[in-house]
Structures are given as structure tokens and as C-alpha cells.
Structure 1
Amino acid sequence: MSDKCCGSGKPEQLSNKDCCSSQVENVASKELNESSCCSRENVAKEVAEQNTDSSCCSNQSEGRKENDACCSSQEAAELDTCCSNIEEGKVTGVTNRSNNEKPSVSLKGEKFEYRIHGMDCPSCALTIEKGLNKINDVQEAKVNYNTAKLQVTGNNALALDYVESEVQKLGFKAEPINQNRNLKTYHVEGMDCGSCASSIENHFKALPSVQSVNVNFSTGKMKIEHENSVDEIVSEVSKIGYKASLLTNNSGQSAEATKTKEGYGLITFSGLLIVLGFLGPYNGVSPLISTFLYAIAIVLSGYKPVKSAYFAIKSRSLDMNVLMSAAAIGAALIGEWFEGATVVWLFALGNVLQNKSIERTRKSISNLMDLAPSVAWVKINAELVKKSVEEVAVGDIVVIKPGDRLPLDGEIISGETSVNQAPITGESIPVDKVDGDTVYAGTINESGSIEVRVTKLVEDTTISKIIHLVEEAQEQRAPTQAFIDKFASIYTPIVFVLALVVIVLPPLFGFGTWGEWIYKGLALLVVACPCALVISTPVAIVSAIGNAARNGVLIKGGTFLEKAGAINAIAFDKTGTLTEGKPQVSDIDALTLSEVELISLAYTLENYSTHPIAKTIVEYAKDQGVQAKDGELFKSIVGKGVQATIDGEVYYAGNLKLFEEMDFDLEAIQSKVDDMQRQGKTVVIIGTAREIMGIISVADKIRTTTVKSLKGLKQVGVKQVVMLTGDNEGTAQMISKEANVNRYFAELLPEDKVDAIKQLQKEGHKVAMVGDGINDAPALATSDLGIAMGGAGTDTAMETADIVLMADNLEKLPHTVKLSRKALSIIKQNIWFSLIVKFVALILIFPGWLTLWMAVLSDTGAALIVILNALRLLRVKG
């Protein structure tokens, strides 16, 4: 565990013991890494606010209430810090009640088991236990921090959702383990704005056979826990005017073929009836026949929206189906049959076109799901057996022929090839792979036949995680979307009431006829529908996130997409980000002993360090066949070097600052060190408290993609490109010139990087920080946007950063910024266009210039234009 685990910026004041209790130290390393102890949020609070002592759980995300039950004073005495990693947006209460009201759940003596996500110290487990034990009739809630499992003893399955919601309110996530919850996911067709999703939810919440339901308009999915059959659920959805089909195999693919053209046929036929009715009087046909044709057209095109409106009203929802149905029926009642027929026909046509367009955005993710093959050729003894990927276990050997896609993540054990990793990382050039290299499901084997040992099950592969993260991101609401939804929820009822006033008051006071004002009121009802406005933001966000995912970039949600679009300064960690991160030993200068002896000492000192420079020296010693000495009492000196006791004497390996603090006369080596540093080399000095024994210099190469990427960032409007490094001034200056950054900060300790980010923010910049997601945690947390690279190789980076570059280079960063700015621009265009269309329509109603069919056209037409404008984001090229 590194000293900067909790990122306080003062490692000497916050040791491992402070961050995690002794229980943590007993956990196997594979179950507890650095990221489980620290998170972006706690680092942000501890570093940015320097407030680690005031409260146990004071580090929750901004805008959320502190958890009253987090730690008692007694617990606080045992655990100095809580290190909570409550993620932004995860705390969403499902019930509102006063603080003194205790929730009650009917339970019976059954045991339920959950996996808890988000705990980072034992006090978090205690918080969950206390929170759940407050529920009436919960006999026992027990959380094991080491295994991250929760056991709840209680009554019946009604407790399942309640337990999850209570855990969620505490800031964690509970995932049922091996429980049959009858939770299924359906694909729903026909929704064209968020109010449709609300109507479906409200309808199902009233059914006793449904325990929980969540409908997401952006992804077109309905997650529902029900006891009745799938056919009954599909039937209920069809009652409301939509079409549902069960999704299977977690692939997101519909169990039924959903491509149908029945809607087009019906619309074409009803449109033909309207045309015939309109032309009838000009050809001597009785007006009664024309009215009859209009009536048939209203029934054919209006059946579904009227039925949907009925259930919406029943569920106390005021959606577009209600408004359109009222307008069409009202037009018919006042004798405007042509207007009524035209209203429902334009509405139906608009819905079909909108749905078709929206499906294009959803396919940006479903196409990702199709990348990995569903079967694999497994080698059993000397035979190849074809198996479903779900049947393949970790450790099985699969054979992949040239041209085939890899079915699962794994490690090559035989063969050499080139692999096209574009589906995962967005890299355009195939990557050479040999024995021991990692390969990913969904990538393409370009040349040789290879044998791969499977390392991850189908649900744990990198592509599966990408799909899961992207779908989660698409379901999150961006700040702009949240504002628009709130605006629409106020706007629609106000205009609805205004329409009723327009219908009733003017004729009552003798201002015109009832028919005239009813017509204007109906037009106002249509204008009250905020469809184009509500849809303006989510479609753009879904399109942008889908585009980014196809190009090897994971954007964790609309919030981060918007932030990326506003970024005007980007800070980069040098080692492993701008440079290869694989330095090489370049010079060895032995002063008082032999070169082999110097390397042996350096090997011994650096062997227990995780610093890239230390690893380079260790690897060099191994390659040279040099043996390490027997050392003990190893200690890391943060930002300066390491020390160890060898043969009873303390030896040091570190930078110039370390030996300066030991009051050494460095005049004899100063010129050598200066020369090496001017060449961009990092100097490691070896010695004791009495003498300096030698110097080893290490050099790191700048990445081939760095210069091009940084140039691309400047072209897309990033004003400040900054390098942060712990290296000396000379090395930093040389690398900065080569990389062509605007400025650099050298000789930085972890807390100094935080100060550099704060300085940029004080200068008025919106700052993104690019690092590996672990070592740069304090700076990543302090920045406005955290970007991690190399996500395909590290699960931690995928989980902790706001944006993840799947490739281990910066090649896709300019595309990400460009895409985000384009998305912001399109969102603004859509919002202004929607508002202007509504405003113009409202103005035209009162002079009587806006007809009903024009009102519908302004609504559905505007919505379609907004969608098509957002779809342009799918075509933005990386």
C-alpha cells in the first residue's frame, strides 16, 4: 500500500494504518488493492480541503448529505479515517420519511445474501449494518468487510428491493448473489421521449404481480421484476401502445425479431384516406363521405395514442399522448374532422420516424455487443470442441485461427500473431502479440493461429465491462438534461392549464365563439408538448458516448461529456503518459567500488520499490546476471529515494535532494549529475551516510504518438497543455521541448501535483488531468476531469476515472475533446431550436394563424430535426 493511499498530501501524517484498519491488512492482495482503499472522492476531499479529521465520512460527494450513521465517536477513535468511496450520483433515495420514522418491512426468517460494492474500510461495513438493523422486522444484518458480503435475515422477498434501496441511500451498492429475483430486461419500442417511459413505469407500478420496474428512454430498456409470465408483461406493454420483447443472454439482443413494417402500412393507408377525404368535395363527393373517411383515419392512426393516453391519465401522467389525443378528439367534436385526422396522422408518422432515428443511436452500443463471437473452439487433449462462450471456464485453452475474432480475454500460450484491437482500444494499427501477451474478446486475429488460455469468464471480459459501463453512462442524466426535464415538468402543466383557460374564459366573456376558442385551446394543447425540448439532450449524449466507445474511449456519463467539452487546460503526468514509462539504464559511474558491486547494491536497494526507475534498475541487474545482497529494514523515502540495511550499515539510493539533506559535499559529482540531467536523464545516486559510491542514470523515451496528440489538442482549442513530473528541472525541460507542451512543473511530490492543478484552476482554467488512475490519484481527484489511459490493461483505471482511454497512448484524446465540444454545441443548438419553435407557435396561435396540423408539425417535426441533428455525432470521426 503506498503512502499516498488516502491522498492527504501529508504522507507522514497519514499512514496505512490510518487509512485502513488491521482487518484490511489481512486481506489477500487480489481482494484489496490500492483503489479499494482510496477513491477519487476521498482523495478530492482530503487533498483539496485538507480535512481528514473533522468527520469520519465527511468526504462524500458534494451536494449529498453526510451519513449520520457512518461512525460513532467510539468508532472514530478506533478508525481515524473512513476513506469512503461513495460515487457521484449513486445516492438516490426511494422513499421520503422523517428522521424519527422507522421503515417497516414484512419479513419471515429467510436469509438473503448480497455483494456490497463501494466499501473501503471496516467502518463502512458497520454503517451498512446499523442502517439495515434500524428496519423493523429485520432480524439481523451482517456485513463481512473482507469478503464484501452482506447477509440479511428476515421475512420474504419483499425485503429484497428495500434492502438494496436502503444500502443505496447509505452510498453503496448491493448486488444479490444467487437469488432468483425474477428480474428481466425487455426492449421497448415506440417510446419517443422521457414521458413515455414514465407512463410505462406508472402503469406497471399499479400491478400487484410487479415488484419493481425501471424504464430508461435513452437505451430503450425496461428492467422489471415480476412474478407473472413474459407474455403477460409483453401484453401489458402493448396495452399502453408500445411493443416489448425480452432480452436474453445479457447481450442486449431482442429474443424476438423486432423489425416490422406494420406501422408504415397503417400510416400509408390512413394518409391515403385523408387525401381521398380532402379531394372528395372537389369531385362532387358528399361531405358526409369525406367525414367518414377522416373518422376511419382518426381511428386507425389514433388508436394507439388514445389507448396510451388512457393509461397515462390512469397513472396520473401528462404525456404527449394525452395532449395529442385531446387535440384530435376535440377537433372532431367541434366538426374539424380534417384537422383531427391530420393531427393524429402527423403524430403517428412523426413517432415512427423518431423511433427509427433513435434506434440508430442505440445500435451504437448493440453493435459493440456483436463484436465477440458466441462460440469458441476449446482444445481438450488433442481435439477441438466447439462450445458456447458461456460454457468456457477460466483456464481452458481456446484456439483462434487467422481472421477470427477472439471469443474471450486470455493470455497467449502458443503462437505469434498481429491482433487488430480497434474494437477495444480504437488503435488503427494491429499490435504484435507473442507468448505471454494479453488478448481481448472481440479483437481480430490478423495472421497466425494462436492458443490462448482463458483468464476471464464471458461476463467479466473487457468488452463486457465496456458495454456495461457505457450503458450505465447512457442512463445517467447530464446537468443540462436534468434542468430541461425539470423545466418541461413545469412548462407542460402550465400550458395545459392555460389551454383550458383559453377554451373557457374568452367565449364566456363574449370574446368570439366557442368553436373559435376551443380550436385555439386545442392548438395550445399540442404546443404544450415539450417533446423536442426534452429529447434534445439525451439523444445527443447517447450518440456521443456511443461514438466514443467505438473509438476506444469510455465516457462515464453525460456529466463528464459536458465537462470534457468545457476543458481548456490539460495536465499530463510525464512518466508512462507522455513517455513510454519504460526507461532504460544509460550510464553507470562506479566511484569507490566495482561496477558489478554498484549494480548489486542498487539491485538490493531498489528491489522492494514499485517506482518505474527502481524497476528499470532491477531489470537491468537481472539481465546482467548480477545477484542481490542480503538486505533488511527497507524503507521508502517519499519523493527522494529508498534505504536499506546491508551487512549492518544503512545504504541509500535516491536523487540529489536526498544526499543534500544528509549534508554531503556534492561538489565532486555535481558536474556529472548536471550533464546527465541536461541530457534528460534521471540520476540515481548510491551511497551511505559517509560516502557516495556511484551514479546510475536512467532515460525514458517520449511516446511516438505524444507530439501528434498534443498538437491535435491545441488544434481543437485546448489552450494550456501542461506536464507534471517528479523529475529534475533538466529532464523536465528537455522532455517538454520534445513534446511541445506550453509549460511544465518539475521536481513534484504527489501533493505538489495537486498544488499545480489548483494553480491552473486559480488562473481560470477548466483542468483535466491525465494519468494512470492510481499513482496520480490526488491530482486526478483535484482536477475538474480525471482521464486515465491504458484502461484495456487495468480494471482499476476503468473503475476510477471519469474518462478512460482504452489504448495505452494519447492518440484518441483530441477526438474525445473534439467530440465533447461538438456534443455541447449540438445540445445548445437543439435546445434553442426547440424553444424558438415553441415560442413562435405560441405567438401564432392567438391571431388564428396556427392551425392544428401546423401545431403538430411544429412539434413532431422539431423533435425529428433535433434527433437528426444529434445523430451527426455518430459520424464524428476519430
Structure 2
Amino acid sequence: MMPYQIERLAPGRIKLFSFLFRHLHHPKETVEGYFARFKGVKRASYSRVSGKLTLEYDPNTFDLVDFLSRLEETSREVFLEDLSRERPKEAKEKTEAQRWLTLATLGFIPYLLRGMVPNPVLAGVTLLLAKPIFRKALNSLREKKLDVHFLDSSAILLAGLSGSPFSAHTVVFLLALGDYLSERVERKAYAQIEKLFSYREDMAWLITGNGQALRVRAIELKKGDLIAVYAGEKIPADGVVYDGEALVNQASLTGESNPVHKKVGDKVYAGTFLEEGKLYVQVESVGEETVVAKVVHIIEESVKEPIGLQKKAEETANRFVAPTIGLGLVSLALSGQPNRLTSTLIIDYHTGVHLTTPITILSHVAHLSRFGILVKSGSKLERLSKVDIFVMDKTGTLTIGSPKIEDLVGLEASEEEVLLYSASLEQRLTHPVARAILKLAQERGMELLPRENSQYHIGLGIEGDIEGVKYLLGSTRLMQRKRIKIDPQVRELVDRYHSEAKSVLYLVRNRKIIGLVTFRDPLREEAKDVIAELKRRGKRVILCTGDNEGIAGYIARELGIDEYYSRVFPAEKAQIVERLKKDGRVVSFVGDGVNDSPALSVSDVGISLRSGTDIAIEVADVVIGDSLWHLVDVMDGAESAIERLRLIYGTNSLINTVGLIGSAVGLVSPTLSALINNGTTVLLSLFAIKKPKRR
């Protein structure tokens, strides 16, 4: 089933929205050609950025009910396969913008025979070629909007009907040229994204039941297939290494150019490159379900909605439509020259803003993705440029997220028993401390005991029955909640461990503490330098951790953090963020665990490390690589994008204002006016797509 929404329905016209339309990786003309083949469809218009498809059809021959039923019943896989089959043929065809530009160019031929062809005929040819502009203006009027399309249509009609058909035709030609160049720029912006999906055009070696390698297309692979990948080939699907070992370059996903050693049990990803060795891979995800597909979807989602800066600029531009018309009419009344009104109507501020903003955002988001940084929306990129406070979790963010067990302390049990019962309680749990305890038990060859009636207390610990006895493993706060008595000598021992920046877990049997487990999570090598860089830029950094006062204070001092909160529950982290926001601050929370998801959700910009939990990555607005320096990189990217947009908007306003004034006083002809307006848009679009510089 292919889900869709009907956004607008009128006689002979329907506009549909579908999330799938935003996630297609086929040329625009391929999608339009696919839907134009339905009987009765006169024209199909598709926009990947908005995820919308508009069909103009003949109500007498087009069966709307049947079309919608077929659309609903067609599976996503069948639809994508149909588009893939069409792609080679459609790619050879000219796009609509190319066709319009070609016709507009040929339209100059009658003007070479001007002495033989009367003006009314020339005007008729020009007005016929201006049909795409009139159609856009009509659609805008249907939606009760007075915009640039209305201005362009009015200017062409006025010039054509007032004895200046050549000026009108030049305007049509320049608009067609502007459309074509803008489409080329947009295609170039998406070209980098298309490269990520190039593996889908590749072939794969499918291992059959009798052990033979069969050559198949990558898009034909299914979950559970066994494939072989050789040196020099791209991996065609996500999966797990079944046999073999190799060096795999994952730069397309992580930005890290050094190849990664892959062996049995390791995960590999579609679109990455096998440099050396050979792998047999059990396929887990294909097509739209692969990691690289999700990365592409995130990049495309980033331009889904206009950012705040764009909204303000477009609102200002639209407010200039009526004054522009008024200025043109005044100029006409004072001079009696229709060309002045025509020239004035051609100038607009909106097109430059509307076309360059998504290209700028897409360019920066795609650039950041090459370094393993994913930004899920342009609005969050804009918001990130304004962040003045970073609230940072400790575990997995400022530390490496792989705690090491330091001490096993037997109080009323042996050290071996402390490890055995702790590991038995933690079995099947996946948080970092549980993994560290289980790893140590495995290294010592321990056979874990069955755990029953277990209850996990998020951020505090776990309790359960082992051999019919109630056990508890957790923090000081869990001891307080369960009213477990901590003897003074035990408390003194724990305080000493805390002064050494070690965290402590209490092992309890039948409400009596029988042992301690201490661990320490090493700080990231880059953490101190990154914190210093954030502070140098005037950012306020706050540590927010569930650890006790001793450990929190020690970490803060080590990293040069002036403010910190200790013994903070997950809900309290979110409350701290909310409180800072109420003070008028723009707050980013940086974390990577399940405990961090509430704070990530309520912050202005939630940032998670790629090594974090699935839920943290899902909730976060920005996902960075496994290095805090990416935090600085994404800030640079955000500031670069907004600086570039401000420069584009300012240049667009300045040049068009000069053109508007020149048109009103008669210094700028309609031809020059069109050249100024459309030339500015094209040049600014080329600047928008320019690769951002790393600071």
C-alpha cells in the first residue's frame, strides 16, 4: 500500500502529497512520465522537495476513483521497481524546462522576418510560448495569492499587447532560461545524494543453495540472502559478516577515510567500499531500509519546511508585490510609457529567496553528512546557529561510554560471588555498565545463574530473584529508595572511591549489602579541548549527570566546566533544559542514552552521538559521529549556512531594488529588467550550491 493525502481537488486537477514522493531518487521527469501515462492525464508535475504531485486531467476520460484505488493498492516495492525500469528511457528525454527553453529560443526566428510578419502574429507566438507562466499565475490566483507569477504574466501581456512583442518574448526567453538553469542547479545539489545510492545500480554476487555465485542486480536482494563481496566492490546491502575478513572504507557514511577491519559477526553497510579482502555477508536490510537510505531521507527531510529566516524574507518579498504594481502604475501615469510599467512588474524579490534557501540548506546538510554528521531539518540547523548554552550528559558523551570495572569488594561474600551475582542480575541488559560486568564475568569463564522476577529501575539499578533469594544491584539512590541501610564503614569506603572518580554499585542480598562493584568511564581524549573551544566562542557549558556530587565535581574540574548538576534523574534533566529556555536561552542538550531522550526532546536542538542508543538517535535533531569535535563542525556548518543566506538575501534585495528604481524612472528596459531579476537568481543559486569551507 502506498499512503497519500489529497491536498487539493478541483475539476480537472488534483494535488497529492506522500512521504514516499519526498524519498524518491529518480529524475523528476521519470516520475512525471510515469504518471502522465495514465489515460486522461494531460500533465503531471512533481516536486521532490515538497513531496507533492499535481495532475491535470480530462474529467471525461480520466477515472479518478480507479486511479486512486490503484495508487492505494500498489505496494511501495512495486512502485519503486516500475520507476527503476522507466529510468533509462526517461533519462534520454528532455525535461520540461529544456523543452520550454528550446521553444523560446526558436521563437526568436519570426522576429528575424519582422518586416514580413505583423506584430499581432508575433505577439500571438510570444503569448503562446508564455503558457507555462500564465498557468503558474492562474494557479496562484486560484489559491488567492498575488505573487511573482502574476507580475511576470502581467508584464508579458502588457508588452505583447502594447506593441512591444520583442520585449515580451525576451522576457519569456529569460524566464525559460532562468527555469532551466535553476533546475540544473537543483539537480547538481541532489547529485551528491544520488551518489550515495549508486550501489543500487550495481550487481551483486548471490550465493545459491548449492554454493554457486550468481550475478544479480543489487535491488533484487532480499533479507536473509547470502552474498559475496570482493575487493574493489561496493557492498550492496546492510548485513552481518558471515565469513571472511576485509578492510572496508566507510567514508560515504562516517566521513572517516581510514578503512575499518571487518570480521565475522561485524555489521557492514550498503554503499561502503571493500578495499582489501573478501566477505560473505548475510543480508539484513535492502533498499529503503538500509542505513544509507535513512541518511539520504534525513538529508532530504532537511529542506521539507522553510526555515524562520526564509519565512521572514518571503513574507517581506510578498508584501512588495502590491507596492511594485503601484509604483509601476504611477510611473506609467507620469510618463505615459507602458515599458516602464512592464519593466517594473518584472522585478520581484521572492524568487531569489525561494530557490536559493533549500539549495543552501541542502548543500550544507549534504556536506556535513560526508563527515558523519546528520542534521534532520533546516530549521534545526538555523536554531543551532543561535545556541548559547550546551547542556551535556556525562556517560557516553564526555566519556567514551565503555566503563571499566575497577574493584570487586566482598563485604559478606567473596569477590567471585560479587561478580557472579552482579553479572547474573545484569544478564540480557545492554547499558554500558551491564556490558562491562558481563564482559568481566565472561573473561573469567563464569556460568551465569538464572534470574527471575526481575525489575529494572532506569538509571538506578536492577533487582531480581536468584536461586529463590532476592538480590539487588544499584546506586546509592536506589538504596535510599528501597530503604537499604548503609553502615558508616561502608559509606566511608564508598566516599573514598568517589574521591577517586569511581562510581559504586551496591550488591544487596535479602536487604543487606554484601559487596560493592566500582567502575570508571574514561573521559574522551578530545573532551577538554572541545569544552575549551565552546567556551572560547562564548557558549555556556553545563554538566548534567546522574552521578553523585564527588564524581560530578571531579569531572567538571577535569574538563574546565564551571556549572554542573549531580544526582539528576532523566525527568529532571528535561526540567533543567525547560528552566533555561524560560530564561530566554537557546539550549542544546547533548546526550546518547535512553535516560537522555526526555531532555533531547524538549531542548531547542537535541544532539546525540552516533554510538548512542537507538531511541536517543531517533529523538535527536542532530546526530554526530563518535567524536565531540563534530559538535564544533556542526556549529561551523550552521553558522556558515545562515551567514551565506543572509548574504544571498541582502544581495538579492540590493540588486532588485536598483533594478526596480531604474525601471520606474525609465533607465531599465523590460529586457534588461528580466536579465537583472533572473540573472541574479541564477547567480545566487550557483553561489548557494558552492561547497562550504571547513573552518
> Into which bin does the TM-score normalised by the smaller protein fall?
0.7 to 0.9
Whether the aligned pair in 1 keeps the contact of 2:463 and 2:472 (CA below 8 Å) is yes
Tell me which residue corresponds to 1:235.
none
Compare 844-853 and 210-219 and name the one that shifted more.
Answer: 210-219
Shift of 1:409: 0.3
Tell me which residue corresponds to 2:541.
721
Alignment of 1:315-330 (within 5 A): 315=139, 317=141, 323-324=151-152, 326-328=154-156, 330=158
Shift of 1:338: 6.4
CA distance 1:378–1:653, shift in 2 (3 Å): same
Give distance in 2, aligned partners of 1:822 and 1:448: 40
Alignment of 1:223-302 (within 5 A): 248-249=83-84, 255-257=90-92
Q: What percent of counterpart residues are identical? A: 27
Compare 661-670 and 399-408 and name the one that shifted more.
Answer: 661-670
Compute the TM-score of the two structures, normalised by the length of structure 1. 0.65
CA distance 1:609–1:394, shift in 2 (3 Å): closer
1:839 maps onto 2:651 in alignment: no
Which of 664, 678, 687 is residue 869 of structure 1 equivalent to? Answer: 687
Which of 673, 678, 693 is residue 514 of structure 2 equivalent to? Answer: 693
Whether the aligned pair in 2 keeps the contact of 1:319 and 1:529 (CA below 8 Å) is no
Q: Deviations over 1:586-644 (max 9, x none)?
A: 11121233221222222233336554323322332232123444554433445443333
Q: Deviations over 1:194-231 (max 9, x none)?
A: xxxxxx9xxx99x99459976327489857698979xx
Give distance in 2, aligned partners of 1:556 and 1:870: 19
CA distance 1:294–1:398, shift in 2 (3 Å): farther
Q: Deviations over 1:301-356 (max 9, x none)?
A: 95785121343355455665664465356446555566556544544444444333
Number of equivalenced pairs: 657
Shift of 1:423: 0.9
Shift of 1:667: 2.5
The amino acid of 1:876's aligned partner reads K
Shift of 1:95: 6.9
Compare 623-632 and 408-417 and name the one that shifted more.
Answer: 623-632
Tell me which residue corresponds to 2:378.
558
Shift of 1:495: 3.2
Which of 306, 331, 334 is residue 130 of structure 2 equivalent to? Answer: 306
Whether the aligned pair in 2 keeps the contact of 1:185 and 1:222 (CA below 8 Å) is no
1:519 maps onto 2:323 in alignment: no
SS of the aligned residue for 1:449 comes to strand
Q: Deviations over 1:509-562 (max 9, x none)?
A: xx54x3x2x122111211246322332422222222222333322222222222
Whether the aligned pair in 1 keeps the contact of 2:385 and 2:642 (CA below 8 Å) is yes
SS of the aligned residue for 1:477 comes to coil
Tell me which residue corresponds to 1:243.
none
User: Structure 1, unaligned stretches of length 5 or more?
Assistant: 1-89, 97-157, 176-180, 190-199, 230-245, 278-288
The amino acid of 2:622's aligned partner reads I
Tell me which residue corresponds to 1:683.
504
The amino acid of 1:413's aligned partner reads Y
Shift of 1:826: 1.8
Which of 854, 858, 876 is residue 672 of structure 2 equivalent to? Answer: 854
The amino acid of 2:191's aligned partner reads K
Tell me which residue corresponds to 1:448.
277
SS of the aligned residue for 1:674 comes to helix
1:803 maps onto 2:638 in alignment: no
Tell me which residue corresponds to 2:249.
420
Q: Deviations over 1:229-284 (max 9, x none)?
A: 9xxxxxxxxxxxxxxxx99329988831367988888888889999xx8xxxxxxx
Which of 337, 351, 360 is residue 531 of structure 1 equivalent to? Answer: 351
Whether the aligned pair in 2 keeps the contact of 1:577 and 1:771 (CA below 8 Å) is yes
Shift of 1:397: 1.2
1:389 maps onto 2:389 in alignment: no
Which of 555, 569, 575 is residue 749 of structure 1 equivalent to? Answer: 569
The amino acid of 1:875's aligned partner reads P
Give distance in 1, aligned partners of 2:320 and 2:123: 30
1:599 maps onto 2:419 in alignment: yes
The amino acid of 1:256's aligned partner reads A
Give distance in 1, aligned partners of 2:4 and 2:618: 17
Shift of 1:776: 1.4
Give distance in 2, aligned partners of 1:300 and 1:188: 30
The amino acid of 1:248's aligned partner reads L
Give distance in 2, aligned partners of 1:570 and 1:601: 39
Tell me which residue corresponds to 1:13.
none
Q: Deviations over 1:664-715 (max 9, x none)?
A: 3532133432332222221112234664322221121233454555455556
Give distance in 1, aligned partners of 2:62 and 2:194: 28
Q: Deviations over 1:390-425 (max 9, x none)?
A: 222211111111221100000001122222111112
Whether the aligned pair in 1 keeps the contact of 2:592 and 2:609 (CA below 8 Å) is yes
Give distance in 2, aligned partners of 1:714 and 1:763: 20
SS of the aligned residue for 1:377 comes to strand
Whether the aligned pair in 2 keeps the contact of 1:184 and 1:223 (CA below 8 Å) is no
CA RMSD of aligned residues (A): 4.4
Shift of 1:437: 0.7
Whether the aligned pair in 2 keeps the contact of 1:364 and 1:547 (CA below 8 Å) is no
Compute the TM-score of the two structures, normalised by the length of structure 2. 0.81
The amino acid of 1:856's aligned partner reads A
Give distance in 2, aligned partners of 1:349 and 1:300: 20
Shift of 1:824: 1.4
CA distance 1:701–1:660, shift in 2 (3 Å): same
Tell me which residue corresponds to 1:6.
none
CA distance 1:753–1:297, shift in 2 (3 Å): farther
Give distance in 2, aligned partners of 1:483 and 1:320: 17
CA distance 1:410–1:725, shift in 2 (3 Å): same
User: Structure 2, unaligned stretches of length 5 or more?
Assistant: 64-80
Q: Relative contact order, CA 8 A, sep 6+: which one is greater?
A: 2
SS of the aligned residue for 2:91 comes to coil
SS of the aligned residue for 1:474 comes to coil
Give distance in 1, aligned partners of 2:667 and 2:177: 23
Alignment of 1:329-728 (within 5 A): 330-331=158-159, 334=162, 339-340=167-168, 342-380=170-208, 381-492=210-321, 495-496=324-325, 499=328, 503=332, 506=333, 511-512=334-335, 514=336, 516=337, 518-528=338-348, 530-607=350-427, 609-629=429-449, 631-646=451-466, 649-659=469-479, 662=483, 664-688=485-509, 691-707=512-528, 709-710=530-531, 713=534, 717=537, 719-728=539-548
Give distance in 2, aligned partners of 1:741 and 1:734: 10
CA distance 1:359–1:691, shift in 2 (3 Å): closer
